[in-house]
Amino acid sequence: MRNTPVFVALLSCFFACRSSSDNGGVDAGSNGSNGNCVTIMQVQSDSMPPGTAVCLNQVVVTAVDLFGTRTGDVWVEDPAGGPFSGVLVFPPASALSTVQSLQPGDIVNISGAVKDEFALNGSGGDTTGRTDTELDEPKGGALMITKTGTGPVPAPAVVDATAIGKLYDPTQAATNGGGAAFNAAWEMWEGVLVTMSNVDAFGSPKSFGSGGADQYDLNISGDARMEGSLMDITNSGIKVDTCMGTLTGVVDYFFEYLVYPRTSADFNTTGTGCVFENAAAGSAACTNGVDDDGNGFTDCADLGCEVGSNAYLGTCDAGSANGATCGCSINYAAGSGASQSNSAQATTSHPVILHNVFVTGIDTANRGFWISDAAASAAGHGSFVFTSSTPPASIVIGAELATLQGVAGPFPATTPNTVEISDPTMGTVTTGATITSAGNIPITTLNSLTTGATYRDVLVTVGPVTIGAYAAGAHNQLTLTSGTDKLTMDDDNYFGYGAGSGLGSGNAPTGCANITGILELNTAGSAAIHTINPRQASDIVPATCN
């Protein structure tokens, strides 16, 4: 499935809003605090209502979540495996030490649990009627996990993701998540360890929350998502139209069906049998009105036809008028691409081709780089290009890209936001251009989310300003002051921005200076702010303050 912006905020809320005490508000149920020992298949059956007390004997651990900012989930299966044989156990924080000692293959008994059908409710909740079956600790109870031995992990069930994806009905997405047939095909594998062959990646791993590496995912075959909940997938080498020969993981559900690989051995990126919907498969694949790869999208609505070296571009004219189509992409004329993309930042994502853009800054976290429509930066003419990993070595400040093709859209999904170009494919790169800022802009303009919006992702200068102390609770953020106006300086482009500046050492310059940097929208804190990010020591020039 194409990344739907509303899911970004909801998934972020999932990590912030859900706690280990969440069990849907159910009590122990009528069967008593210890419940009846049953099979997982019985737990997954609709005949067992939520709130039923449950115990499981001699089930096998298939995955344990010990990675990232929210840990503790355990997946177990009936030893025979198969459809409906797995379930997520959501233990309380008090059981974390037990969970940390578990590993796939451990045989466990689970007591004091209660069945829950979890779905996010309330404003912005899941309206499809789909839920995730799990075992929780009831109010006033004590969920216990007891290891009794070790044994073989049930063989992963073989699932044809592409075939499931072809069952997806986009006309039913809003009301029931894509249709009864599609939902039934995935639900039987909920909580189960599965393996899939020739899985197509429809994007690169991208952050969907405010946490760390465990909050990255990407669209895959089957109208599902591969998520790094159990391992780091940020530097997996996966990008648009990567073919994973195999992908193994446990299946989960939160607004969408999710597959969690457990280690790097659970997938490979060298497959050759994927069914692609892109121009490399023949231009008809992007014009035949068929969902060839089973991801729920057809022709120019499919990411494979939109971006990447195999995108369907048709006949392109670099001098065409702004907005002229180019196969599946909007073909912007040179000097206007970032500006035209920015004008649509409040709308849905769209594939674009930009011509003759210039690199103005590099992200030190190796997530991407900033561009401008010209070597002379200007308001409204900057964008961030998200690469998800280290940009190519040719991407340096002053580099000119003959073409830049990708998907432009709002980031984050909620407002305020800025434009971001993801899944980029770059044409010929030449270096040596001199990049200049958009001018010395008053702090009072830049620090406002309203008046400063047009300068987001643009190289600007402020000064002279007084460099103050570290911002409270911030990491390598300093406060710049001009009169009563303040602006935060950050190190997203350049770490150690005091070294060599003549204003102190390390990453803590002091004194008064004129400062040049990329103006960014920072939404990581409790409130969105603008920050200026110097790119190198020479961007901080000592000055005299009044």
pLDDT given at position 503: 56
pLDDT given at position 306: 87
145 contacts: CB under 8 Å, gap ≥ 6: 74, 89, 91, 95, 98, 99, 102, 108, 109, 110
Q: How confident is the model at residue 29 (pLDDT cuts 50, 70, 90)?
A: very low
- Nearest residue to 282 via CA among 310, 241, 244, 324: 310
Which top CATH class is 443-542? mainly beta
- Torsion sign over Cα 457, 463, 467, 472: negative
pLDDT given at position 507: 53
Query: Which amino acid belongs to residue 497?
Result: Y
- Nearest residue to 532 via CA among 507, 515, 513: 515
pLDDT given at position 34: 40
- Asked if the domains 5-150 and 157-266 are classified in one and the same CATH topology, the answer is yes
> Above 60 in pLDDT, residue 18?
no
> Above 70 in pLDDT, residue 319?
no
| 515 Rama sector, left if φ>0, alpha if ψ -120 to 50, beta otherwise | beta
The whole-number average pLDDT for the span 112-129 is 85
Highest mean pLDDT among 120-129, 184-193, 215-224, 460-469: 184-193
Q: 65-74, 294-303, 433-442, 472-481: which range is least confident on average? A: 472-481
Q: How confident is the model at residue 500 (pLDDT cuts 50, 70, 90)?
A: low
Q: How confident is the model at residue 11 (pLDDT cuts 50, 70, 90)?
A: very low
> Above 60 in pLDDT, residue 88?
yes
**CA 236 → CA 63, 223, 261, 266, 390, distances in Å?**
20, 20, 12, 12, 12
Which top CATH class is 157-266? mainly beta
97 contacts: CB under 8 Å, gap ≥ 6: none
More confident residue, 4 or 29: 29
SS3 content of the chain, % helix, strand, coil (to 5): 15, 35, 50
> Above 80 in pLDDT, residue 106?
yes
How many residues does the structure list for the chain?
546
Give the helix/strand (H/E) hosting 10: helix 5-17
pLDDT given at position 422: 87
Q: What is the CATH number of domain 324-430?
A: 2.40.50
pLDDT given at position 282: 73
332-353 per-position pLDDT tens digit: 888 888 888 877 554 678 889 9
510-525 per-position pLDDT tens digit: 788 999 999 999 887 7
The whole-number average pLDDT for the span 42-47 is 94
> Above 80 in pLDDT, residue 13?
no
Question: Hey, how many other C-beta atoms are within 10 angstroms of the C-beta on 493?
Answer: 25
Instruction: Determine the 3-state secondary structure of 351 from DSSP.
Output: strand
- Nearest residue to 11 via CA among 158, 211, 203: 211
436-494 per-position pLDDT tens digit: 999 999 999 999 999 999 999 999 999 899 988 665 555 678 889 999 999 988 877 77
Highest mean pLDDT among 295-304, 376-385, 474-483: 376-385
> Above 70 in pLDDT, residue 91?
yes
Q: How confident is the model at residue 381 (pLDDT cuts 50, 70, 90)?
A: very high
Mean pLDDT in the chain?
A: 84
More confident residue, 225 or 293: 225
Domain boundaries, the chain: 5-150, 157-266, 324-430, 443-542
The whole-number average pLDDT for the span 363-392 is 90
Phi, psi (degrees; rounded to nearest 5) at 119: -155, 145
Longest dimension (CA), the chain: 78
Q: How confident is the model at residue 14 (pLDDT cuts 50, 70, 90)?
A: very low
**CA 51 → CA 22, 34, 328, 398, distances in Å?**
13, 13, 50, 62
Q: Could you tell me the fold of the domain covering 5-150?
A: OB fold (Dihydrolipoamide Acetyltransferase, E2P) (2.40.50)
Q: 11-15, 268-272, 411-415: which range is least confident on average? A: 11-15
Task: Quote the pTM value.
Answer: 0.68
